[in-house]
């Protein structure tokens, strides 16, 4: 009765490469799509014009379907006083590099919910799939995308979010377990994180809902894919598994850290961006966001401050404050070209025993 992933998304293999803002590239997405999976890019940090150019880059490399991801966060309150306290908190860290914090912070990521130019661009470009993180746009926007022939996916971390997404009319759910690397897709982080694991969440959504489910979080090999499919997922979304591919934008320090001991002890912090996210632990986790830290100035103002600190540190060869997102399966990451990795995953998925 359940449709196949080929019927649903037009792909040959039940493997979606996570959109990973700052790591995914048109080259990575195209390689995965050409291999029969669904490649993804994130345009969450882009203007509509920049996003159109990225879509064009992917299309120049593949004629296969791919996914375009957007952030749908609700604006978070950020007072000048909170920003000033956070910047003062960061002053000693900047001083280590003979630098000073910025004098003000910006909301550096525009939400799709307030970006009609991005919506218009998507309706013109018509990528095969559009996915949302941090929430949902208005149901009318979802319907318009679908009328243009676009499949719409939403990342959810709980049954409550899944019910909201289903009511809004999306085509499928990305069930993001607590194991997943990168930002938690929480609609309202101020209400807390249920912290549900991938397999439990997948089974819950399959049993309680009617939409196709994509499992995301901690899946690194064919056995993991097979387990998710056995629980009723129609496909899996894998991010950390693709970070070491040469086509990813991960820098040398990120790659080295992912192959080191930190991969065995990923943690979640809000101090990097203002929203909870899982990554390889460093001084942002332990010191900047440690005990006694003042209240965060909100997303994405917090990230603006962190990026400024990262820049002055990196200029002096220090990566102790870098955002190196990774899930709990990080030690299983393999350093292979994306097409080769995808072929290995498919072979493992169909292996006997």
Per-residue pLDDT tens over the stretch 104-122: 999 999 999 999 999 999 9
Q: 52 has which bridge partners?
A: none
Mean pLDDT for 200-208 is 98
DSSP state of 39: E
Cβ burial 97-135 (10 Å sphere, 16+ → b, else e): eebebbeebebebbbbbebeebbebbeebebbbbbbbbb
Instruction: Using CA atoms of 254, 272, 115, 121 in order, give the dihedral in degrees to the nearest 10.
Output: 0
Asked: is 5-73+109-259+333-349 a CATH 3.40.50.200 domain? The reply is no
How far apart CA 235 and CA 216 sit, in angstroms, is: 9
What's the token pair of residue 44? 């969450």
Q: What is the pLDDT of residue 353?
A: 54
182 prior amide bond cis, ω within 30: no
Q: What is the pTM of this model?
A: 0.97
Residue 344 clears pLDDT 70, i.e. is over it: yes
Helix (H) or strand (E) holding 140: helix 139-147
Q: What is the pLDDT of residue 181?
A: 98
Instruction: Give the tens place of pLDDT for each residue, 1-27.
Output: 357 888 999 999 999 999 999 999 999
The CA R_g of the chain, rounded to the nearest whole Å, is 19
Residue 188 clears pLDDT 90, i.e. is over it: yes
CB-based contact 54:43 (threshold 8 Å):
yes
Mean pLDDT for 56-76 is 96
Rounded percentage of the chain residues whose pLDDT exceeds 70: 99
Phi, psi at residue 332, to the nearest 5°?
-90, 0
Domain ranges of the chain: 5-73+109-259+333-349, 76-108+264-325
Rounded percentage of the chain residues whose pLDDT exceeds 90: 96
Instruction: Give the tens place of pLDDT for each residue, 210-225.
Output: 999 999 999 999 999 9
């Amino acid at each position: 009765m359940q449709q196949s992933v080929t019927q649903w998304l037009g792909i040959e293999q039940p493997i979606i490469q996570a959109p990973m803002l700052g790591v995914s590239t048109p080259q990575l997405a195209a390689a995965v799509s050409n291999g029969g999976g669904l490649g993804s890019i994130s345009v969450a940090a882009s203007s509509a014009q920049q996003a159109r150019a990225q879509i064009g880059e992917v299309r120049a490399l593949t004629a296969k379907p791919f996914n375009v991801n957007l952030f749908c966060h609700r604006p978070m309150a950020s007072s000048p006083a909170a920003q000033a306290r956070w910047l003062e908190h960061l002053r000693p860290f900047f001083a280590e590099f003979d630098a000073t914090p910025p004098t003000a912070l910006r909301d550096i990521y525009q939400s799709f919910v307030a970006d009609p130019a991005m919506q218009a661009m998507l309706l013109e470009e018509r990528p095969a799939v559009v996915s949302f993180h941090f929430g949902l746009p208005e149901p009318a926007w979802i319907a318009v995308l679908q009328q243009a022939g676009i499949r719409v996916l939403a990342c959810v971390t709980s049954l409550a979010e899944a019910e909201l997404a289903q009511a809004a009319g999306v085509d499928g759910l990305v069930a993001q377990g607590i194991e997943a690397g990168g930002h938690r897709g929480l609609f309202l982080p101020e209400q807390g994180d249920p912290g549900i694991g991938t397999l439990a969440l997948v089974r819950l959504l399959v049993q309680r809902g009617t939409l196709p489910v994509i499992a995301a979080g901690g899946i690194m090999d064919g056995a993991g894919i097979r387990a998710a499919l056995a629980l009723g997922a129609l496909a899996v979304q894998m991010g950390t598994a693709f970070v070491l591919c040469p086509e990813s934008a991960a820098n040398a320090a990120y790659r080295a850290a992912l192959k080191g001991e930190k991969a065995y002890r990923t943690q979640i912090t809000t101090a990097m961006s203002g929203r909870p996210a899982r990554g390889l632990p460093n001084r942002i986790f332990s010191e900047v966001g440690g005990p006694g830290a003042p209240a965060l100035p909100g997303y994405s103002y917090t990230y603006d401050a962190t990026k400024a600190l990262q820049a002055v540190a990196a200029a002096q060869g220090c990566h102790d404050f870098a955002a190196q997102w990774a899930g709990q399966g990080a030690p299983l990451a393999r350093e292979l070209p994306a097409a080769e990795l995808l072929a290995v995953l498919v072979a493992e998925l169909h292996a006997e025993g």
